[in-house]
Amino acid sequence: MTLAHGVCLAKPSPCRLASAFPSCRAFVVAVVVAALVTACQRAPSFAASPSPSVDSAARHDEAPRWPEQGARLPEDPVAGKRAEEQWRAHLAREDRERQLARDRHALTQHKAIIALLVRTHRTIERARSDKAMRAATARLSDVGTEVERRLEKINVWGNVSPVTSIYRDMVLLLKQGLSIDRRVSAGGGSDGHATSSFDWNGRLAEIRAYLHEAAESEGEGE
């Protein structure tokens, strides 16, 4: 090693450095201690940073809390009522589809009842003499029995077709009309057949519209 004044000094060897200490072991210990002190001075300080457990607990407190198992969420009464109405409407549609399918399978019986009622109604409307009235009376007694017999074949397993009550109402209308027609024939003062004053055609159209819907249905019924 050359200094500024031209004096050349040799590079000190490890043995020479070690000779400055009482022993080599003391030299090694001193080097290790110095290294540890330097490392401690360069290491970052963790005193100010929060502990992982504290930070995790804070984040846990800020997270949304889900209801415990078995707990019920608060209900919206408006939405609940709307959902209930929609469910009832769905069940009603399913029930109607099943009934339409059942009546589709019984169309032969329905058509027979309609033909019988229409024929009887026409007979009453055309009756003018006492003989015609007696014939209509005898025929009307059989009409009610025949309608009920065919309804038994339509309404099976506790199912009741929605037009059942309409059929019975029409039979009742025929009976009421015939009773008034008798008073007309006897000079009771009425100016027309009573059956014409009832909504006979409206009832008949209602039945036919329903049976047309049944014929177009695709359900299987139960």
pTM over 0.75: no
What percentage of the chain has pLDDT greater than the value 70? 56
Q: How far is CA 151 from CA 44, 110, 144, 156, 158, in A?
A: 96, 8, 11, 9, 12
Q: Could you give the CA distance from residue 123 to residue 147 in angstroms, rounded to a whole number?
A: 17
pLDDT digits (tens, 9 = 90+) for 6-19: 444 444 454 454 45
| pLDDT tens figures, 30-84 | 666 676 767 666 655 544 455 555 555 555 556 566 656 666 667 788 888 888 8
State the pLDDT confidence band at 137, using cuts at 50, 70 and 90: confident
Where in the chain are the domains?
Answer: 84-216
Question: What average pLDDT does the segment 195-221 reach?
Answer: 84
Section 213-222 average pLDDT: 82
